[in-house]
A = this chain, B = another copy of it.
């Protein structure tokens, strides 16, 4: 298939290790990848810097960052530790069956919706999304049932769906363990040293090593039996 015949796909890219792996998978499947990141008032912009580097390194044909400042809406007792600096990022996992304070209300739904609109504009019917329901933080919008419901919605919501094309929401790592994501990414040439997973990375992208995201990531590299390239602040 020549370069010009490739089908376009929108790939949500956060700057973390999961979405970087998903971008590599989408590219391997032969898509022209249009990467999309969102600045939503998160605590730090290191992950957006990481997303920019990852997009280039993994050959995205385009990378766009949309700004949606939710910090004035998403604060208070039901807000999120990721958008409200008044809520501390926890350093131990949330109790079983509970949703942690790092949950950003409807974030994945918002990002998928923007991706859906962009897909329509560029004539894409494929959206890639790094949801993971195995070694994850217990967020509701990472589960297979959620992805299925979004697919149904996408087909009712769009011109493409109405006109008989099928919109597909791909969540290719949803069933993988963190260790398997590490292995898959490495097979596909992802440089995980570029990625930032930490909820409270510093401006240089160095991780705290203590939050839930750091804990899961560190364990993933350990279980995969490979070197952890994460730059930690206290290292």
B-binding residues in A (CB < 8 A):
64, 66-70, 72-76, 78-79, 99, 103-110, 112-114, 116-123, 140-141, 143, 145-146, 149-150, 152-153, 156-159, 161-162
A69 neighbours in B (Cβ, 8 Å): 66-67
Could you say which residues of chain B place their CB within 8 Å of the CB of A152?
A: 149, 152-153
- Knowing A68-B67, A69-B67, A78-B122, the reply to whether A106 touches B116 (Cβ < 8 A) is yes
Q: In the bound complex, do residue A157 and residue B108 qualify as a contact, i.e. CB atoms below 8 Å apart?
A: yes
Contacts known (A66-B68, A67-B67, A162-B140); A106 close to B75, Cβ less than 8 A: no
Residues of B within 8 A of A121 (CB): 73-76, 78-79, 105
| A76: B residues at CB distance < 8 A | 121-122
Beta-carbon contact of B159 and A140 below 8 Å:
yes
- Residue pair A110, B117 in contact (C-beta under 8 Å): yes
Provide 20 A-B residue pairs closer than 8 Å at the C-beta atoms, listed in order of the A residue: A64-B73, A66-B73, A67-B67, A70-B114, A73-B114, A73-B118, A73-B121, A76-B122, A99-B162, A105-B118, A105-B120, A105-B121, A106-B114, A106-B158, A109-B113, A109-B117, A109-B157, A113-B113, A140-B158, A152-B152
Given contacts A78-B120, A105-B119, A149-B156, 5 further A-B contacts (CB under 8 A): A70-B117, A73-B117, A105-B159, A110-B117, A140-B162
Kindly report which residue of chain B lies nearest to residue A159, judged by CB atoms: B99
7 nearest A-B pairs in the assembled complex, by CB-CB distance: A106-B117, A105-B120, A105-B117, A110-B113, A109-B113, A106-B116, A149-B153
**For A143, what are the chain B residues with a Cβ–Cβ distance below 8 Å?**
156
Complex-state Cα separation, A163 to B220, whole angstroms: 29
Report the minimal beta-carbon distance from A226 to chain B, rounded to whole angstroms: 34
Cβ distance A12 to chain B, nearest Cβ, rounded Å: 13
Residues of B with C-beta under 8 A to A161: 140
